[in-house]
C-alpha cells in the first residue's frame, strides 16, 4: 500500500479551488448574452462553478489521503527538469532543433541519473537519432538553425 | 445477415495495404510502449496523437493506428508487471500479484505465454461483443435529443468516481475542474471570450492534446524523477513462452469467465479496464477457493486479470463509438482524435460512415491476431526493452512529447502550456485527485454545454426540459444506480479487508 500523509495538501488544494470557483462565478457575469439565446455564455460556467465550489469546501472540511511529497533532492531534480524544458521552449525558435535538443537532452540524461560519461555520448546519439527520425523518416519539419537548412 | 455484410465491408477496408501496415506498426509500437515501466495505454496513445496529425492520415487510418497502439499497450503492460513487478498502469496492477511470483520461480516465460493467450481471448471476446452490441446501442440512441445527450454526459461524469474508487468528492472535483477549463476561449455561439484574461493564445481554448500530453506524459516524468527505478532488472532467465499456451488451455475456464466480466466492466461508462482486471481477479480467487494458490504465482491469477483488462479495453470502445461518451482516459483520447478530424462519434457515425466504424472493427480482429503472433514467439524481444535504463528512455519520452506538441501549431506557447499541465497533473496525482475526469471534463465540456444550450433554446429557456423525457429520467436513474452500486461495492471491499 502507498503511505498516506496528512491532509494539509487537500486543504490547501480545496482552498485554491474554492477561489477558482468564486472567481469563475464572478467573471461569468461579464459574459454578456447575445440576443435570441435562451441561456447566455455565462450560464454553463456558472453551473459548473457551483459544484466546484461546494466540493472544494467539502475537501477543506473532509480532506482525504495524500501521497508522500517528494524529498528535497527529488524536488530539485524536478525543478531542474522544468527549468530545462522551459529553456528548450525558449530556444527552439531562435536557435533551431539541433543545438537546443543537444543541450537539453544531454542535461536531461544527466538529470535522470546517468554519469557525464554516459550523458555526453548518449545525448548526442539521441539528439541525432531523433532528428533523423522526425525530419526524414516521419517527415515532420523541425525548426532549422539560423542561416542553415538543417 | 446485415451485420455480416457490414463486417465483410470492414475487412475490405482493413485489408488495404496501408491499413494493414499501420495496424502492424501500431501493434508493435503499442506492445513496446506498454512494456516500458510506468507508461501505459493513456501515455502511449497521448504521445502518438500529435504525430498522427502530422502524417495527414485519413480518419480511418489514424484510428486504426491509434487503436492498434491501444490494444498493443494492453498486451505489453503485462510484460513489466510480470518481469519487474512494476505495472505500466492501473489495469496491469492485478497482474503483478501472481505474475511476479511466477517470474521469481523461473516461470516468467510461461507466464508471458499464458497472458498472451489470455489477452488474445479477452480482446477477441470483447471485439465480438462490440460487433453484437454497438449496433443495438446505436438503434436505441438514435432517438436521443439534446436533453438526453446532456443526461448522458451527466451519467458519464457521475459514474467516473463511483467506480474508480478512492475519495468520491475528488473525482467530481476533478471533473468540474476539467469542465471549467473546457470553457476557456471564445464561446462558439456568442463569440464572447471567456476566461482568456486578454491572452490571445487562449482564444482558441485550451488545446486538448497539449493538456493531455502534459497531464499524463510530463507528470509521469516528474514522478519518475522522484524515485529512480534503477537496480530493478529482470533478473531471471525467461525461458520459452510456448509452455504457457498449454497452461492457458488448463486455465480456459478462468480466461472465459474473466473475458465476459471484463467486457461488461468495460462497457459501463466510467469504469474501464482497471475495474475489469480487478473484478476478474477477485472473482477468480473466490471461484478457485482452496484449490488456488493466489498470491504465490497461481496461473489462474495471472490469466484472469489479463483476460479481464483486455476485454474491458474493447468494451470501452462501445460507448465511445456508439454514444460519443468515453468511459476511460484512453477512449477519451481516441474521441479527441475523432472530434479534431471533424467526426462526431454517435449513432449517426454508424449510418454516415459505416466504412470507418466497420473498418476499425475488422482492424481490431486483424490486429489482435498480429498481437498474438508478436506476443508469444517474439515476447523475448520486447522483454529486452526493459533492460534499457530509465535515463535513456525518459528523455526520449519527453522529446517525443515536445516535438509532437510543437508540431501541432509551431508555437512555444503550447510547450509552456504543456509544462503547466504537467505540473498540474503531478500535483493532482500527489493529492490523489484522479486526472482522467479532468481530461474527460476538458474534452466533453464543449459538447455538454452545446447540448444544454440547444435543449434550452428548444424549450425557450425552460429548465424542466432537462428531465422531461422518459429516456433522460431513465439515464439519471441509471446514473444514480451505478453511483450507489459503486459506493456499495467499495464499502463491501473495505469491510472485507
What is the C-alpha to C-alpha distance for residues A126 and B402, in angstroms, rounded to an integer?
A: 14
Confidence of residue B128 (pLDDT cuts 50, 70, 90): very high
Least confidently predicted of A28-32, B59-63, B160-164, B357-361: B160-164
Q: Which of residues 18-57 of A touch B (CB under 8 A)?
A: 20-21, 24, 27-28, 31-34, 37-41, 43-45, 47-49, 51-52, 55-56
ipTM over 0.95: no
From first CA to last CA, the distance across chain A in angstroms is: 50
Question: Given A55, A93, A119, which is nearest B176 (Cβ)?
Answer: A55
What integer pLDDT is reported at residue A3 of this predicted model? 42
What integer pLDDT is reported at residue B420 of this predicted model? 94
For B25-41, how does the pLDDT look when each residue is reduced to its tens digit (9 = 90+)? 999 988 888 887 767 77
B395 CB within 8 Å of a chain A CB: yes
C-beta atoms of B412 and A92 within 8 A:
yes
For B466-475, how does the pLDDT look when each residue is reduced to its tens digit (9 = 90+)? 777 888 888 8
Residue A37: its chain B contacts at CB < 8 A?
189-190, 453, 457
Mean pLDDT, range B61-67, rounded to an integer: 89
Q: Which of A29-38, A76-85, B189-198, B320-329 has the highest mean pLDDT?
A: A76-85
A147 CB within 8 Å of a chain B CB: no
What is the C-alpha to C-alpha distance for residues B380 and B281, in angstroms, rounded to an integer?
A: 26
A118 CB within 8 Å of a chain B CB: yes
Sign of CA dihedral A33, A37, A39, A41: negative
Q: Which candidate in B169, B218, B392 is best for mutational testing of the A interface (most A CBs within 10 A)?
A: B169
B168 CB within 8 Å of a chain A CB: no
C-beta atoms of B461 and A45 within 8 A:
no
Closest CA–CA distance from residue B316 to any residue of chain A (Å):
26
* C-alpha cell recorded at residue B135: 449496433
Q: Which candidate in A21, A28, A133, A140 is best for mutational testing of the B interface (most B CBs within 10 A)?
A: A140
Closest CA–CA distance from residue B190 to any residue of chain A (Å):
6
A87 CB within 8 Å of a chain B CB: no
What integer pLDDT is reported at residue B165 of this predicted model? 55
Mean pLDDT, range B329-354, rounded to an integer: 82
Residue A20: its chain B contacts at CB < 8 A?
177, 180
Mean pLDDT, range B113-130, rounded to an integer: 91
What integer pLDDT is reported at residue B161 of this predicted model? 57
Question: Given B190, B230, B390, which is nearest A33 (Cβ)?
Answer: B190
Confidence of residue B496 (pLDDT cuts 50, 70, 90): low
- Secondary structure (DSSP) of B329-379: HHHHHHHHHHHHTT---SHHHHHH-HHHHHHHHHHHHHHHHHHHHHHTTTH
Q: Cell 539528439, residue?
A: A127
Mean pLDDT, range B82-106, rounded to an integer: 80
Q: Cell 461569468, residue?
A: A28
What is the C-alpha to C-alpha distance for residues B44 and B72, in angstroms, rounded to an integer?
A: 10
What integer pLDDT is reported at residue A32 of this predicted model? 75
What integer pLDDT is reported at residue B429 of this predicted model? 87
What integer pLDDT is reported at residue B495 of this predicted model? 64
What integer pLDDT is reported at residue A150 of this predicted model? 65
C-beta atoms of B396 and A130 within 8 A:
yes
Q: B354-375 vs B108-141: helix axis angle to the nearest 10?
A: 170
The vertex-A133 CA angle with A131 and A136, nearest 5°, equals 90
Position B397 pLDDT exceeds 60? yes
* C-alpha cell recorded at residue B408: 501541432
Mean pLDDT, range B73-101, rounded to an integer: 81
What is the C-alpha to C-alpha distance for residues B432 and B170, in angstroms, rounded to an integer?
A: 8
Question: Given B395, B412, B449, which is nearest A108 (Cβ)?
Answer: B395
Question: Given B187, B194, B226, which is nearest A70 (Cβ)?
Answer: B226
More confident residue, B384 or B19: B19
Average predicted confidence (pLDDT) for chain B:
82
Mean pLDDT, range B266-289, rounded to an integer: 77
Q: Which helix (H) or strand (E) holds B186?
A: strand B185-186
- Secondary structure (DSSP) of B207-226: -HHHHHHIIIIIHHHHHHHH
- Secondary structure (DSSP) of B82-136: HHHS--SSGGGHHHHHHHHHHIIIIIHHHHHHHHHHHHHHHHHHHHHHHHHHHHH
Mean pLDDT, range B93-118, rounded to an integer: 85
What integer pLDDT is reported at residue B233 of this predicted model? 56
C-beta atoms of B51 and A20 within 8 A:
no
Residue A113: its chain B contacts at CB < 8 A?
228, 230, 389-391
* C-alpha cell recorded at residue B175: 471533473
Residue A74: its chain B contacts at CB < 8 A?
225-227
Counted residue by residue, chain B has a size of: 497
Confidence of residue B460 (pLDDT cuts 50, 70, 90): confident
How would you class A72 by CB atoms within 10 Å of its CB: exposed for 0-12, middle for 13-18, buried for 19 or more? exposed
C-alpha dihedral over B328, B332, B334, B339, to 10 degrees? 160
pLDDT under 50 in chain A at which residues? 1-3
% residues pLDDT > 90 (chain B): 9
For B220-276, how does the pLDDT look when each residue is reduced to its tens digit (9 = 90+)? 888 888 865 554 555 455 667 777 778 888 888 888 989 998 898 888 766 567 777
C-beta atoms of B183 and A58 within 8 A:
no
Position B164 pLDDT exceeds 60? no
* C-alpha cell recorded at residue B83: 518481469
What integer pLDDT is reported at residue B238 of this predicted model? 66
Amino acid at each position: 500500500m502507498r503511505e498516506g500523509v496528512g491532509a494539509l495538501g487537500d486543504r490547501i488544494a480545496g482552498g485554491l479551488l474554492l477561489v477558482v470557483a468564486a472567481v469563475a462565478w464572478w467573471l461569468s457575469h461579464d459574459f454578456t448574452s447575445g440576443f435570441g439565446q435562451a441561456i447566455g455564455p455565462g450560464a454553463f460556467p456558472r453551473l459548473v462553478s457551483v459544484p466546484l465550489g461546494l466540493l472544494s469546501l467539502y475537501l477543506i472540511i473532509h480532506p482525504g489521503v495524500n501521497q508522500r511529497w517528494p524529498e528535497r533532492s527529488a524536488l530539485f531534480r524536478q525543478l531542474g527538469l522544468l527549468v530545462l524544458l522551459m529553456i528548450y521552449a525558449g530556444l527552439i525558435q531562435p536557435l533551431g532543433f539541433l543545438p537546443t535538443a543537444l543541450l537539453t537532452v544531454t542535461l536531461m540524461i544527466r538529470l535522470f541519473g546517468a554519469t557525464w560519461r554516459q550523458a555526453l555520448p548518449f545525448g548526442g546519439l539521441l539528439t541525432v537519432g531523433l532528428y533523423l527520425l522526425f525530419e526524414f523518416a516521419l517527415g515532420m519539419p523541425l525548426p532549422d538553425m539560423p542561416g542553415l537548412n538543417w | 445477415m446485415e451485420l455480416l455484410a457490414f463486417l465483410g465491408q470492414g475487412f475490405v477496408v482493413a485489408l488495404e495495404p496501408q491499413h494493414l501496415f499501420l495496424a502492424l506498426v501500431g501493434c508493435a509500437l503499442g506492445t513496446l510502449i506498454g512494456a516500458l515501466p510506468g507508461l501505459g495505454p493513456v501515455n502511449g496513445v497521448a504521445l502518438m496523437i500529435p504525430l498522427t496529425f502530422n502524417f495527414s492520415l485519413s480518419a480511418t487510418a489514424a484510428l486504426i493506428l491509434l487503436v492498434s497502439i491501444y490494444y498493443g499497450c494492453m498486451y505489453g503492460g503485462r510484460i513489466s508487471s510480470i518481469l519487474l513487478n512494476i505495472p505500466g498502469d492501473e489495469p496491469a496492477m492485478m497482474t503483478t500479484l501472481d505474475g511476479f511470483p511466477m517470474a521469481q520461480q523461473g516461470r516468467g516465460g510461461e507466464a508471458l505465454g499464458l497472458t498472451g493467450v489470455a489477452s488474445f481471448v479477452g480482446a477477441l471476446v470483447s471485439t465480438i461483443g462490440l460487433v453484437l452490441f454497438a449496433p443495438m446501442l446505436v438503434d436505441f440512441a438514435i432517438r436521443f435529443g439534446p436533453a438526453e445527450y446532456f443526461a448522458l454526459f451527466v451519467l458519464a461524469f457521475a459514474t467516473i468516481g463511483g467506480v474508480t474508487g478512492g475519495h468520491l468528492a475528488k473525482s467530481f472535483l476533478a471533473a468540474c475542474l476539467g469542465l471549467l477549463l473546457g470553457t476557456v476561449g471564445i464561446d462558439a455561439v456568442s463569440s464572447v471570450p471567456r476566461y482568456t484574461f486578454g491572452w490571445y493564445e487562449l482564444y482558441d481554448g485550451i488545446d486538448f492534446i497539449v493538456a493531455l500530453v502534459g497531464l499524463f506524459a510530463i507528470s509521469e516524468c516528474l514522478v519518475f524523477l522522484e524515485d529512480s527505478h534503477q537496480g530493478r532488472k529482470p533478473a531471471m532467465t525467461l525461458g520459452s513462452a510456448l509452455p504457457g499456451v498449454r497452461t492457458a488451455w488448463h486455465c480456459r475456464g478462468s480466461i472465459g469467465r474473466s473475458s465476459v466480466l471484463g467486457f461488461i466492466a468495460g462497457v459501463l461508462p466510467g469504469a474501464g479496464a482497471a475495474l475489469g482486471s480487478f473484478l476478474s481477479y477477485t472473482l477468480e480467487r473466490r471461484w478457485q477457493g482452496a484449490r488456488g494458490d493466489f498470491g504465490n504465482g497461481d496461473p489462474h491469477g495471472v490469466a484472469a486479470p489479463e483476460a479481464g483488462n483486455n476485454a474491458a479495453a474493447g468494451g470501452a470502445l462501445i460507448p465511445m463509438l456508439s454514444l460519443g461518451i468515453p468511459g476511460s482516459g484512453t477512449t477519451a483520447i481516441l474521441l479527441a482524435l475523432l472530434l479534431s478530424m471533424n467526426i462526431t462519434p454517435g449513432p449517426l457515425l454508424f449510418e454516415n460512415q459505416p466504412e470507418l466504424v466497420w473498418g476499425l472493427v475488422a482492424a481490431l480482429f486483424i490486429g489482435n491476431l498480429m498481437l498474438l503472433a508478436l506476443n508469444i514467439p517474439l515476447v523475448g524481444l520486447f522483454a529486452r526493452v526493459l533492460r534499457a535504463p530509465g535515463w535513456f528512455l525518459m528523455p526520449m519520452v519527453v522529446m517525443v512529447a515536445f516535438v509532437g506538441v510543437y508540431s501541432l501549431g509551431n508555437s512555444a506557447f503550447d510547450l509552456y502550456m504543456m509544462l503547466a499541465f504537467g505540473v498540474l497533473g503531478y500535483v493532482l496525482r500527489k493529492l490523489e485527485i484522479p486526472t482522467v475526469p479532468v481530461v474527460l471534463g476538458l474534452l466533453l465540456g464543449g459538447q455538454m454545454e452545446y447540448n444544454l444550450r440547444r435543449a434550452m433554446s428548444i424549450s425557450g429557456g425552460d429548465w424542466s426540459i432537462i428531465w422531461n423525457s422518459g429516456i433522460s429520467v431513465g439515464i439519471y436513474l441509471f446514473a444514480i444506480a451505478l453511483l450507489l452500486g459503486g459506493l456499495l461495492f467499495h464499502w463491501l471491499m473495505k469491510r472485507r479487508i
